[in-house]
Amino acid sequence: MELVLFDLDNTLLAGDSDFEWAQFLISKGVLDKEVYEARNQQFYDQYKAGTLDIFEFLDFQLKPLARHSRAQLDAWHREFMDTRVRPMMTPKAQTLVKQHLDSGAVVAIVTATNSFVTGPIARAFGIPHLVATIPAQEDGAFTGKPRGTPAFKAGKIERVEAWLESLGLCWESFAKSSFYSDSHNDLPLMNKVGNPVAVDPDDTLRAHATGHGWPVISLR
């Protein structure tokens, strides 16, 4: 049995769903452009630099979810999928996912982006499992806070292991494990699997992958 894990943003997607969700809400007038656009870019730059404070970012990212009804959020998300996400789903990425699914592998997306944003994206790819940062809810409404450990950096290992445990599985259940990612932020999980694959990697990850003999591919 094989385990195949995919990062989402800038790996399976030719772009960042987290960043684009905030930009989408700004374009709808839901978020104030002057206040949120510069802050959104600042967080994105920090992520790329490896200096992001994940809890500070989640406070920024999740608060808008708490201000609106789930019905309204779902309606916005459907439009977001059509206008922002589907154009980022490249044929190469979809083909790679299908190959792994057809092989009978256990396939999951593992992403720091919250599950409200990423759940429909995982379903659009046909991927049955999602390990994502969880936005807390009470009585069907978002609280604006995360629940549990964010799926970020080493937190991805903790969250993947908890997910595997929920399936009655562990790392040793698999003859082969792979993780595809673009980001040096994912080096903890990439070092955990047997087959790390750098996908359109940032400069830091590319240098690390080259130095360790990891495959480097492009899905663009």
pLDDT at 103 (0 to 100): 98
Mean pLDDT of 118-124: 98
Owner of token pair 């969880």: 134
**Do 110 and 118 contact (CB within 8 A), yes or no?**
no
pLDDT at 35 (0 to 100): 84
Sheet holding 2-6, edge to edge: 141-147, 129-138, 106-114, 2-6, 176-181, 195-199, 216-217
Mean pLDDT of 135-155: 94
pLDDT at 140 (0 to 100): 86
- Tokens representing residue 114 in the block: 């919250």
pLDDT at 102 (0 to 100): 98
CA 143 to chain centroid? 21
**What's the pTM value of the predicted model, to 2 decimals?**
0.95
pLDDT tens track for 55-84: 999 998 899 899 999 999 999 999 999 999
Burial per residue of 11-47, b for 16 or more beta-carbon CB atoms within 10 angstroms, e otherwise: bbbbebbbbbbbbbbbeeebbeeeebeeebeebbeeb
Model confidence at 49, pLDDT cuts 50, 70, 90, reads very high
Mean pLDDT of 83-92: 98
DSSP, collapsed to helix, strand or coil, labels residue 109 as: strand
Domains, the chain, in order of start with CATH, read 2-217 (3.40.50.1000)
**Do 1 and 167 contact (CB within 8 A), yes or no?**
no
Task: Answer yes or no: 202 catalytic.
Answer: no
pLDDT at 124 (0 to 100): 98
Computed over every residue of the chain, the mean pLDDT equals: 96
**Is pLDDT at 89 greater than 90 in this prediction?**
yes
138, β-bridge pairs: 141
Instruction: Label each residue of 75-91 as H, E or C.
Output: HHHHHHHHHHHHHHECH
**Do 175 and 1 contact (CB within 8 A), yes or no?**
yes
pLDDT at 6 (0 to 100): 98
pLDDT tens track for 169-211: 999 999 999 999 999 999 999 999 999 999 999 999 999 999 9
Model confidence at 151, pLDDT cuts 50, 70, 90, reads very high
**Is pLDDT at 34 greater than 90 in this prediction?**
no
Burial per residue of 151-173, b for 16 or more beta-carbon CB atoms within 10 angstroms, e otherwise: bbbebbbbbbeebbeeeeeeeee
CA 108 to chain centroid? 10
- Rounded CA-CA distance 190/160 in Å is 12
- Rounded CA-CA distance 192/177 in Å is 9
Task: Answer yes or no: 74 catalytic.
Answer: no
Model confidence at 86, pLDDT cuts 50, 70, 90, reads very high
Catalytic residue among 7, 16, 182, 186: 7
